[in-house]
Amino acid sequence: MSFFAITETSASVTWGFRTYAVSTITFTLEVALDASFTEQARAPVVTAQGNQTLDDLTPDTHYFVRVTGTDAWGTSNTLVGEFDTLAPPGSPYLSEIRVNGAILTPFSPTMFGYSYSAQSSDATLTFQATTLDPTSFVRVESDSESLGSTTSVQPIPFGNTQVDIFVRNADSSSTQSYAISVFRPPT
């Protein structure tokens, strides 16, 4: 399952199932706001196609998608995926966070708390943060604000440390913060 052409209010999804017999497969596509699919975002769609465009979505929202394919003999397979719609322009969100050059994963602009396990030898870590909207400002801890992206070297003592990243949009009408809980084991 893959997602593409994601905007503030739409996304396209494509999927495929391996089949071993010549049979017509119908797909049931479900879109939900939770991983258990109890909070449906729209009515399920039944289709014979292996793709669908999802419209009328809410901006800046995390969605779960489940596709169940069923053939003429009742055999079914299920695929599950998830994606985020984009935030409106001017929203104070990050597009990525890097620690020592590696992208912090899994990352989502609307996920605000992360954990990172440092090595015992990591007395400092380099944090890079890039805003989703290039006109937004970002800073790490008490460093100076930068437009669009910033890089900051932070001391990391043994044990648990929280590193905060702050984002504000260009007109200062909206702010957001991200917290990274770093654990550095003692030597």
Q: What's residue 122's pLDDT? A: 96
pLDDT above 90 covers a percentage of the chain that reads: 66
List Cα–Cα distances, 84 to 2, 28, 36, 110, 187, in angstroms: 13, 21, 17, 8, 40
Instruction: Enter the pTM of the model.
Output: 0.61
Residues 138-149 have a mean pLDDT of 94
Residues 146-173 have a mean pLDDT of 94
Residues 138-165 have a mean pLDDT of 95
Tell me the pLDDT band of 74, cut-offs 50, 70 and 90: confident
Alpha-carbon distance 73 to 32, whole Å? 28
The structural domains of the chain, ordered by start, are 2-84 (2.60.40.10), 94-184 (2.60.40)
Greater pLDDT, 57 or 25: 57
pLDDT for 83-105, tens place per residue?
Answer: 999 877 788 999 999 999 999 98
The yes-or-no verdict on residue 56 having pLDDT over 80 is yes
The DSSP bridge partners found for residue 178 are 165
Tell me the pLDDT band of 10, cut-offs 50, 70 and 90: very high
Greater pLDDT, 172 or 128: 128
Contact status, residue 15 vs residue 30, Cβ threshold 8 Å = no
The yes-or-no verdict on residue 17 having pLDDT over 80 is no
Distance in Å from the first CA to the final CA of the chain: 43
Bridge-based pairing state of the strands 102-103 and 137-140: unpaired
